[in-house]
Structure 1
């Protein structure tokens, strides 16, 4: 029979395992020029996700990214979310013409771009270009 101490130790261990994928996941943040430039200067792998709340393709991309980003190989990936409707200057500066645009960088160098793509394999290939 389990005593209280053994139960609590087991519960703590399980809790730690459950949160492990979150600790490995890429860091997601709203785009700011300063944070983006700092990530570039640090030579970090970067994903810029240009989205709109009303866009069904963007929602599908978010689901796929939600499955891919927790992978250990993406732990250092900085993910910047750009709102297509409220951050038009950023959208223009990045050369994007529409929402549902994913752009990857290795430091300051753009290494790939997808527009309107929701296939997991294609998005995974794009992310792998940053590694």
Structure 2
């Protein structure tokens, strides 16, 4: 049985989530990616590995960009390099630290090993 306190806690949590949180990276799921493409959303695929120092350098840059109002609709999908080889093959991504930008269903750019904030921002701007 759901108590009033539980209902209020869930309602408060739902109201406290900011729109910027929607742009935080989420693990890649094909259905969510397909839906974002069909909706014409700007999309960034982030191929990363927990042991990769370049990936660790990219993450704060991407996090900062997702908070920028220009990129409020950006969908960021994270693909784990070590465990999602099936998905990587579909994207033709051979290395961790690969970033792939989509404008809806069209790939508009990609980079491998890039850590310069200006260059990553330039790639993400292509999704708009």
**For residues 53-76 of structure 1, what are the alpha-carbon distances to aligned partners after superposition, in whole Å with 9 as ceiling and x for unaligned?**
000000000011122220001110
Unaligned runs of 5+ in 1: 1-18
Q: Following TM superposition, by how much is the alpha carbon of 1:23 offset from its aligned partner in structure 2, in angstroms? A: 2.6
Matched, 1:56 2:85: no
Matched, 1:118 2:115: yes
Matched with 1:24 is: 20
SS at match of 1:57: helix
Matched with 1:94 is: 91
SS at match of 2:50: coil
The separation in 1 between residues aligned to 2:43 and 2:105, in whole angstroms, is 9
Native 8 Å contact 1:101 1:113 kept in 2: yes
SS at match of 1:69: helix
Native 8 Å contact 2:43 2:104 kept in 1: yes
Extract structure 1 runs of 4+ deviating beyond 6 A. none
Native 8 Å contact 1:27 1:76 kept in 2: no
SS at match of 2:96: coil
**For residues 29-52 of structure 1, what are the alpha-carbon distances to aligned partners after superposition, in whole Å with 9 as ceiling and x for unaligned?**
110111101111111110000000
**Greater Cα radius of gyration, structure 1 or 2:** 1
Alignment equivalent of 2:35, drawn from 29, 35, 38? 38
Matched, 1:75 2:84: no
SS at match of 1:130: coil
The separation in 1 between residues aligned to 2:19 and 2:36, in whole angstroms, is 19
